[in-house]
Amino acid sequence: MIFLPNYRFIQQSHNIQGPIGMIETIRKKIEHEEFDYQTLLDCLKDYARPRDKISALLKQGFIIRVKKGLYIFGDEYRRRPYSREILANLIYGPSYISLDFALQYYRLIPERVEALTSVTTGRSRRFLTPAGLFTYRKIPLEAFRIGMDRIEIGDDRAFLMATPEKALADKLYDSRGAGIQTQKELIGYLEDNLRIDPVALKDLSSTDIDATALRYRSKKIRLLSDLVRRVRQ
């Protein structure tokens, strides 16, 4: 009797891998540290029950769920630090980084900011994740549409962040209880609350702040534009 090889077994045997074999396969296919659920499924498309495989990878700590549908690699299989800024853009959208985190990034405020702050057109949200705290503040659509930059960080990776002018304007808008009606009150807020030296505003564009003030229809932001114009003289 001639025994024919079990081609079905041969075809499936390469899929009989433990979590280590799977994560090494995934790591070869995914270039960046931040990735979504669909990308992960595509890497596991040749495996039976890919959702079970994902659960096993999570249990071993080879991958970490930042939120539903969004992942980073665990320490053992991370090639470089993941970008919290990129994660901020992905966790909740549409959004871009602004407010305190952006002001710190541009060295307009001295304090280190742990929470990664963003603005959005959706409702305000807060996400406490294994990658840190991410907060999102709602602003009007017209104001959202201007004043953002694409920040390149290498390896074909980039994130969206407010310009310095827009970040400060967003912060003023968000500080609704500050009761700023005059230049004196604005300077007091900048110095006492944000610890910004008004002289540090000399590199900002009053024209850009004017444009944001129109979108917000905000007297406070118009006062900021006037102040920037003064310190630049």
Share of the chain above pLDDT 90, in %: 81
Judge contact between 102 and 117, C-beta under 8 A. Answer: yes
Which domains does the chain show, CATH number per domain? Answer: 7-77 (1.10.10), 84-165 (no CATH), 167-232 (no CATH)
Decide if pLDDT at 34 tops 60: yes
Judge contact between 57 and 67, C-beta under 8 A. Answer: no
> What pLDDT shows up at residue 17?
58
Helix (H, G, I), strand (E, B) or coil at 181: coil
Element (H, E) at 35: strand 34-36
Tokens read off for 69: 């549908």
Decide if pLDDT at 46 tops 90: no
Decide if pLDDT at 161 tops 60: yes
> What pLDDT shows up at residue 233?
80
The DSSP string of 114-138 is -SEEEEESS--EEEEETTEEEEEEE
pLDDT band at 2 (very low <50, low <70, confident <90, very high): very low
> What pLDDT shows up at residue 8?
42
Give residue-wise pLDDT tens across range 87-139. Answer: 999 999 999 999 999 999 999 999 899 999 999 999 999 999 999 999 999 99
**Mean pLDDT in residue range 42-59:** 92
Give residue-wise pLDDT tens across range 170-190. Answer: 999 998 767 899 999 999 999
Give residue-wise pLDDT tens across range 4-21. Answer: 444 343 334 344 456 788
Give residue-wise pLDDT tens across range 68-94. Answer: 999 999 999 999 999 999 999 999 999
Decide if pLDDT at 56 tops 80: yes
User: CB under 8 Å, gap of 24 or more: what pairs does 87-90 form?
Assistant: 87/34, 87/116, 87/129, 87/131, 87/134, 88/116, 88/118, 88/134, 88/159, 89/118, 89/159, 89/160, 90/34, 90/36
pLDDT band at 47 (very low <50, low <70, confident <90, very high): confident
